[in-house]
Structure 1
Amino acid sequence: MKALSQKRRHPFAFVALLLLGLLVTGGLYAAATTVNQAQASNTPEGYSAEQVEEGERLFTANCATCHGPNAEGTDAGPSLIGAGAASVEFQVGTGRMPMQMQGPQAPQKPPQFNEEQTTQMAAYVASLGAGPAVPDDEWLDVDQGDPARGGELFRINCAMCHNAAGAGGALTEGKYAPSVLGVEPVHVYTAMSTGPQNMPVFSDANIPPEDKRDIIAFLQTYDQQGSPGGFSLGALGPVSEGLLIWTLGLALLIGSMVWLTSRSS
C-alpha cells in the first residue's frame, strides 16, 4: 500500500492518467463515428434513415416469408440485394407483389400498399445494394417527350411482345406480355429499367432516359387517341380482322342458303 501511495504521488502520475483518459475518449469517439458513417452509407440517396427503418419493418412483416429475413432470397422468392428501388416501385406499386399464389407470372392487381409505404420499402431495398433507381420527374414529363420518335423506338424494341398497338400478347408456358396502355409513366419507366417477369432489362446504355421518356409520350398519346377507325378488335391487326370477316362472311353465306332453300320449298 505504501508503494502504491508513493506512485500516486509521482510527478508524472497526473500526466499518465490524463493521457489514458484522452486515449479512452478518443477510442470511444472513433468507434461511434465509424458506426454513424456505416449507418449513413446504408441510407440511399434521396431517402431518409427513417424511411429505411420503416421500410425494413414493412418488408419483414410482408415480404420476408418469400424473400428471406435479410432479402437474401429463398426457394420461394429471389434475392432483392441489388434489385434497386425501381424494382419495388414497379412490383409493389402495380400490385404484382405480394403475390397471391405461385404461378408462371405475377398478375397486376390493386396495390396493397399506399404510395408512402411503397416508397419506404423501396428505400429499404435500395439500402441493401446499388440498383436501378426511381426516375426523376423530368424523365416522366411526357410534355417534354417526342411521341413520333417514341413510336419508332417502341416498334423496334417493344412491339414484338407488347403488340404494335401496346395491347399486349401471349408468350410461352402460360406467360404473357401485358398491355402497356393506361399504365402510369413511372411504372412504364421502371419496367424498362428493371426488366420484370419475362421482360429484358433496358438499361440507360440500351435506351437512354430521354428515349424512355419518348416511348412513354407515345404510349400516352396513343392511349388518348382511342380507336378512331371503329372497333379495335383487340388491336391485333389482320389476324383478328380476317377472322371476323371470315366468320361474318361464312355466317351470311349459310344464312342466305337457308333462306333461299326455304323460299324454293
Structure 2
Amino acid sequence: MHFDLADLRLFIHIGESPSLTQGARRAFLSPAAASARIKALEGQLDTRLLYRDSRGVELTPAGHKLLKHARLIMNQVEYLKAEFTHFGTDSAGHIRIFANTTAVTEFLPEVLAGFLAKRPGVTVDLQERLSRDIVRGVLDGSTDMGIIAGPVEAAGLQVIHFSTDRLVLIVPVGHELAKQKKVTLKQTLAFQHIGLHEGSTLLSFLRDHVERLGQNLSLRIQVSSFEAICRMVEAGVGIGIIPESAAMRHSRTMHLVTLSLDEPWAVRERSILVRELDALPGTVRALIATLMPDEDTKSG
C-alpha cells in the first residue's frame, strides 16, 4: 500500500476544516481536484473517510483514525527535514505546545523569551488547553509537547517531571479566614471566589473537586490572569485559589494573605508530555532541556 504525502497533507487540511472547499483552498487545490484525490484515497483504503452533505464534510470513524496517523506521519517528515536541513542543531524550527493555564501565564513566557532570543530561526505556537486535550494532542500529533500539572493518565507517552508547585488560597488582609494557617476547599466555599476565565485548566480542575463535594463554586467575577485575581482579592472583592508561585510573586507588591490548602491535590507535579523524546527534533529537545532543573530528564 502506497501513500502519497501530498494526499495525506490534503486529508489533514480537509479534516481540520468545516468543508472540503476550505480544506482544498488550504492545500491550494480546486474542490474538484481535492474531491478526486480523496475518492482515490478512499478507493485505495477500501473504506469511506468522509460523510458529505450540503453543510460540509464530517470524518467517519475510519477518517478520524487516518487523520491521527496522517498527522503523525507528516510530523515525522517535518522533523526529518528540520534535522537534516540544520544538521540536527536547535537553531531553527517550529515548536507546537499545548499547556495548562499556569504554564501559559506564569513561567513559559519568561522561559520562551530567553529561549527564542538566542534562536532567531525558531517559531512557537503556544496554546492553552485542558489537561485531557493536552494528552490527546500529544497522542494524535496535534502538538509536539504538552505541559500539565497534577496526576495524568498518559498511556503511550513519556512523562517528564520538571518542577513542583502547590495551590494556595489568597484572601484580603482582615478577612475572617486570614488568621487560619490552613483551610480546606469546603471551608472556602462559604465565600465568593475570584476565578479564571472559562476554558482555563485551573477553573475546570477546581470545579471538578467542588462537584465531588456536592457543592457549587460561587464565582463573583472571572478574570484572565493570576495578577488580576490578586488585584481583585486585595480590593476585597472575593477570595481566590492560585499557584503558590503566583501568590508569592504578587504578594511582594500587594497586600494579600496566603493560606495553605489542606487538600492532597494541592501539591501538583509539573510534567512535560511527549510521544518519544529521542525522536523529537533538536529544537524541541533544546526547549525541554531549558525547562529542566538540570541536564537529566526522567521519563516514565
Q: What interval of TM-score do these two structures reach, taking the shorter chain for normalisation?
A: under 0.3
Q: TM-score, normalised by structure 2?
A: 0.23
Comparing both structures, which one devotes a greater share of its residues to strand? 2
Greater RCO (Cα-Cα under 8 Å, separation 6 or more): 2
Comparing both structures, which one devotes a greater share of its residues to helix? 1
Larger radius of gyration: 1
